[in-house]
Amino acid sequence: MTDSIANTEQSTGPQLRSGFSGADIPAYEDYAHCVHCGLCLNNCPTYKLWGLEADSPRGRIRQIVLVDQGRLPLGDSFVKHIDQCLDCRACESACPSGVEYGKLVEAARAQIEQNYKRPFFSRLARNFVFRGLLPYPGRIAVLARILYIYQCSGLQALVRATGILRLVGMAGKEKLLPPIDREFFFSKLGKTYPAVGPRRARVALFAGCVAQVSFSALHEATIRVLTANGCEVVVPAGQTCCGALPSHAGVRDVARSLARVNLEVFLGGEFDAVITNAAGCGSTLKEYEHLFAAGTPEHEKAHAFRKKMRDATEFLADLGISSQLSGKPMRVTYQDSCHLLHGQKIREAPRKLLRAIPGLELVEMAMADYCCGSAGSYNVTETETSLALLAEKMKHARATNAPVIVTANPGCLLQMRAGAQIHGTGQEVFHVMELLDHALVKQA
Ligand code: SF4
Ligand code: SF4
C-alpha cells in the first residue's frame, strides 16, 4: 500500500483535519486502492475531451483525498470537477486495482450536498426535482400532463419556431425532453400478466418514475416479451422511483427513503427475480447496499434484494428464449449503456438476444462502450459537454451504416434519438426489448 494515493499524501506530513463532515464520507478503504497508475485516464470521456488531470478519474480521486485530509477546500473548484464527472464508471472497468469509483464520487457528491452552498437557482432546481418531484408519483403525473399538452397542442412547435429557446439558452435542453405518453403506466401498477404456455418463472417488473409517463410502450413490450417466454409478470403496487438520480446527485437521504419503500414492496412478494429494462435504475437497485451501513437490517434487506435484481436482458439471456421469433433482414448497431456495462458488467446478454432475432445483423460501432452523454441528468446540467459527447457517438453510429441503433436504457435511447435528429443520421433508435417484441410471432 506504500504507493497508494492515500499513503503518498499521508507520508508528506501529519494527518490533517478532514474537510468532510456529516454522513457519507468517502471511505479511506475505497480510495486507498488507487495506485495512481493512470490506466483509467484514456477511458474517461471528460479527460479525453479536455486533457486535464483534474477532470480524470485519478485527478478526481486525488482531489477527494486532499479534501479528506484538509489540504484542499471543499469549494468551487472541487465542486466543478466532481460535477463534471459523468459517473459513467468507465474508469472502474479499466482499473486493475478494483477502485469502486462510483461509490467514491457519489459520496463526494453527498458531501457537497451537505457542506457546500450552491447558487440560489441551482438549489431551487435541485430541491424541486430531487426532493419535491421524484419521490411523488402524483406530482410527476401532473407535470407530465402539462408537458403532454405543450408537446401535442402545437405549442412546442410554435415556441421552437420563435427562436426564444435559443435566446434563453434552452434550445439544447428542450430537445432532450422525453416525449410524454398519452396514457401513463401508473394505471398498470398492481396488475399481474400470466405466462404464455407453461410457467417458467414468476417475476416482478420495476416500473420506475419518469419511465411511467414516457416509456409505457417499452414497459408493455417488456411484459409481452417476458410473458411470451413463460414468465408470469407482476407489477407490484406501491413501488417508487429507484433513487438513482438523487443518489448520483448526492441527495442520499432521499435515495435512502426511496430504497426503503422499494425493499419493502419487492421483498414482500414471492418472485424469482425483479426485472428492470432501465440499466441506470438497475445499477442503483443492485447497489442499495451502498446506501446503508453494514450490519443494519436495511443493509441485509438490500443484500437479499441484490440477489433478485436483474436487468431484463440479463434475465432473459440466462433463462433462454423459448418464444418463436421471426424477422426481416435488418442491420443494427448496439450502444452499451454505461450503467449496464460498467455498473453491472453486462456486455454479452443484450448482444446474445439481438443475435437470436432471425435476419438481424449486428454491426459493432467503434467505442460502443463510451458514454453517449446522457448520464442521468447530466445532459440537463452539463448540456454542452453532453452534446459534445453525443456528436462523437453519432459519428461512430453513422459509420456503421446501420439504420437502427439499439440500447438497453431509456436515458441512452432518448439521447441517441436526439443525436440522430440533431446530426441528421436518419437512424431509428430502439430498446432491445422493443426489437424482441417486434420479432415475437404472435399466437392466434
Ligand atoms: S486505474 Fe485505478 S488505480 Fe490506476 S489511477 Fe485509475 S483509479 Fe487509480
Ligand atoms: S465516471 Fe466516467 S467521467 Fe467520471 S471519472 Fe470515471 S470515466 Fe471519467
Q: pLDDT (tens digit, 9 = 90+) per residue, 281-299?
A: 999 999 999 999 999 999 9
State residue 2's pLDDT score.
Answer: 34
Q: Check the CA dihedral 414-419-420-422 and report its sign.
A: positive
Check pLDDT > 60 for residue 244. Answer: yes
Rounded Cα–Cα distance for residues 382 and 107 (Å): 20
Q: How far is CA 157 from CA 35, 144, 417, 419, in A?
A: 53, 18, 18, 19
Rounded Cα–Cα distance for residues 339 and 79 (Å): 23
Rounded Cα–Cα distance for residues 130 and 140 (Å): 12
Question: Best mutation site among 3, 4, 36, 46 for ligand 1, i.e. most ligand atoms within 8 A of its Cβ?
Answer: 36
C-alpha cell at 92: 472502474
Atom of ligand 2 nearest to the CA of 60: 5
| Strand (E) or helix (H) holding 225 | helix 216-228
pLDDT band at 91 (very low <50, low <70, confident <90, very high): very high
Question: Best mutation site among 88, 337, 370, 385 for ligand 2, i.e. most ligand atoms within 8 A of its Cβ?
Answer: 88
Question: Best mutation site among 9, 39, 88, 89 for ligand 1, i.e. most ligand atoms within 8 A of its Cβ?
Answer: 39
Q: Ligand 1: does its nearest atom lie under 6 Å from the Cβ of 104?
A: no
Give DSSP secondary structure letters for 5-35: HHHHHHHTSSPPPPS--SS-PPPHHHHTT--
> Ligand 2 atom 4: the closest Cα is on which residue?
85
Q: Ligand 1: does its nearest atom lie under 6 Å from the Cβ of 35?
A: yes
- Our CA angle for 54, 59, 65, nearest 5°, is 120
Instruction: Specify whether the CB–CB gap between 75 and 116 falls below 8 A.
Output: yes
Percent of the chain exceeding pLDDT 70 equals: 94
Instruction: Specify whether the CB–CB gap between 74 and 18 falls below 8 A.
Output: no
Q: Residue 270 in 3-state DSSP? A: coil
CA of 122 relative to ligand 2 center, distance in Å:
23
For residue 104, the Cα-to-chain-centroid distance in whole angstroms is: 17
> Ligand 1 atom 1: the closest Cα is on which residue?
95
> Ligand 1 atom 4: the closest Cα is on which residue?
37
Q: What is the mean pLDDT of residues 149-173?
A: 76
Rounded Cα–Cα distance for residues 388 and 153 (Å): 31
Q: What is the mean pLDDT of residues 263-277?
A: 97
Q: Are β-strands 330-334 and 192-193 bridged in parallel, bridged antiparallel, or unpaired?
A: unpaired
Predicted structure pTM score = 0.91
Instruction: Give the tens place of pLDDT for each residue, 314-349.
Output: 999 999 999 999 999 999 999 999 999 999 999 999
- The residue behind cell 426489448 is 433
Residues 6 or more apart whose Cβ sits within 8 Å of residue 67:
18, 19, 20, 73, 74, 78, 108, 111
- Spell out which residues line ligand 2, taking CB within 6 angstroms: 43-46, 57, 60, 85-91, 101
Check pLDDT > 50 for residue 171. Answer: yes
C-alpha cell at 197: 404456455
Q: Residue 224 in 3-state DSSP? A: helix
